[in-house]
Amino acid sequence: MTYVITQSCCNDASCVEVCPVDCIHPGPDEPGFGAAEMLYIHPDECIDCGACEDACPVNAIFPDYEVPDAFAPYVDINAAFFEFTGEQDEPAPLPPPGAKIPGGPLKVAVVGAGPAGWYVAEELAATRRCDVEITVIDRLATPYGLVRYGVAPDHLDTKEIVSGFAKTARHRRVRTRYNVEIGRDVTHEELLGAHHAVVYTTGAGEGRSLGLPGEELPGSTSAAELVGWYNGHPDRAALSFPLAHERAVIIGNGNVALDLARLLLADEEALQASDLAPAALSALAASGIREVVVTARRGAEHAAFTSPELRALADDPHLDVVVDEADLGSLPTDADLTERDAGTFAALQKADLLRDLAARPRTDAAKRLVLRFGLTPTEILGADTVAGVRFDTGEEIEAGLVVRATGYRSAGVAGVPSEEGSGRFLHEAGRVTGSRATYTAGWAKRGPSGVIGTNRACAAETVRTLLDDYAAGSLAEPTGEPLDDLLAARGVIVVGQTGWNTLDTHERESGKEIGRPRAKVTDREEQVRIAALARV
């Protein structure tokens, strides 16, 4: 028997840490980790101990005899990875933990309660170099950022990763202050005055503009807006979108684009089983969309989606996934690939899957997803509302909804230097350049790349830098007014972890009454009101 990693792998690598025989690859310290779509278990080296299954935060690991039918291909995929890549490279040596730091406690504010923020808090809480007091802050009244408001609402296993974050929130070194916005309730300098260091993990939540004519038309939107709407983000829950036309076009073909396509084409049963926001559920259940065309500027060999994401769509019996064989001439074959690493294995997995889809006969499924390549949009068509998209080839595709899924940008923070255009913080190993005692991790640090678990290694690098700076005496003692005193004087209503737990329980119990995982509260004032029933 062997254990098998399946579709919802988040690359968190908790499984790697607990494996007693080092049979899970690539690990965070191995060369192929950054390019890997997921992690894999070597079937001949696994000793069936089950430690990885217990450690996995997203329920992605199963004994081979218990792998659900929907994930059956992953038994062979895990084995194929090792057949393709051969003997694994030696991991890079871990940096030394560093000497004990006298004095303390080190006071750190972590701004942004999404995955990157919690990985930073986890690393700091676990350090033995010094005592630490960690305050996790978020401008929203709810924690978990990307997991609550970005992960697709039907990916409930992926959302289970928050159980680890909740454990960190209970750590004796950690306290939480939600519904607190830097720049609105307290300035960056005031926050620095109350702490030795500030770490910004504020993500990248703004959609990118393509600058196309017609982009401002109703029915033209960004992935950030549409994803925020259906996930019930308080800033976007009140938006509305035209869903009556039978076709939607998505520009860009990353995993977010495929998530959008899947949700736009989902039937009511699938929508009910998700934690989709109530208003979005009603709108999507009544949608007239029957076809989604996902377009990409470059060829199929550059497809940005991962093979697990496409495989899930390909296996949906209610959906016809259409790929034109003529678009696939530049895809690699096994014989073409001289490099045998995680990146080229991922490329081959995608290529084989696309070829399989192109060879499939068309079905009579009621809905279909069309993947197109080599199309650069030049104009969004329409007079008073979106009517379609024109591409550089001269082709026009009629549609009532056009979504730009071409990346995200960070909003930045007043008083902290950031890169023009992307909004991310310029840094050296997580230390923000041009701002004292200021650090960053996650998408705000490296841009919108990787999956949830990628943030873990990113956070570890930042925390090493911060602790080394503290050991070197580079972080001044805080002399400003304590954060809680500032917030109290300004009448800020603070939501703590206990308040969030009250809101979380309310949503789950409300959902249970109507047969759903949760009924999200999307109005910020209502969130705060419910959370206030508990003590901070």
Give the chain's domains with CATH numbers: 3-85 (3.30.70.20), 106-205+410-494 (3.40.50.720), 210-406 (3.50.50.60)
Confidence (pLDDT) at 487: 98
> Does residue 243 contact residue 287 with C-beta atoms inside 8 Å?
yes
Span 182-203, mean pLDDT?
A: 97
Confidence (pLDDT) at 535: 56
**380 has pLDDT over 80:** yes
Cα(402)–Cα(389) distance, integer angstroms: 8
**421 has pLDDT over 90:** no
Cα(218)–Cα(148) distance, integer angstroms: 27
Widest pairwise Cα distance in the chain = 70
Q: Which of 123-137, 233-247, 355-369, 490-504 has the lowest mean pLDDT?
A: 355-369
Contacts of 426 (CB under 8 A, 6+ apart): 417, 418, 419, 432, 433, 434
Percentage, residues of the chain above pLDDT 90: 92
**90 has pLDDT over 90:** no
**338 has pLDDT over 60:** yes
Confidence (pLDDT) at 98: 83
- Is residue 268 helix, strand or coil? helix
pLDDT in tens, 134-145: 999 999 999 999
Of residues 414 and 437, more confidently modeled:
437
| Dihedral pair phi/psi, residue 525, rounded to 5° | -65, -40
Percentage, residues of the chain above pLDDT 70: 99
In whole numbers, what is the pLDDT of the chain averaged over residues? 95
**441 has pLDDT over 50:** yes
Report H helices in 241-398.
255-265, 268-272, 278-285, 307-314, 342-359
**229 has pLDDT over 50:** yes
Confidence (pLDDT) at 502: 97
Span 458-473, mean pLDDT?
A: 96
**488 has pLDDT over 90:** yes
Of residues 96 and 44, more confidently modeled:
44
Confidence (pLDDT) at 97: 77
**92 has pLDDT over 90:** no
Nearest alpha-carbon partner for 285 in 276, 294, 295: 276
Q: Which residue has the tokens 């690098």?
A: 461
Span 435-451, mean pLDDT?
A: 95
**536 has pLDDT over 50:** no
pLDDT in tens, 272-284: 999 999 999 999 9
Confidence (pLDDT) at 463: 98
- Is residue 441 helix, strand or coil? coil
Span 362-373, mean pLDDT?
A: 92
Confidence (pLDDT) at 32: 87
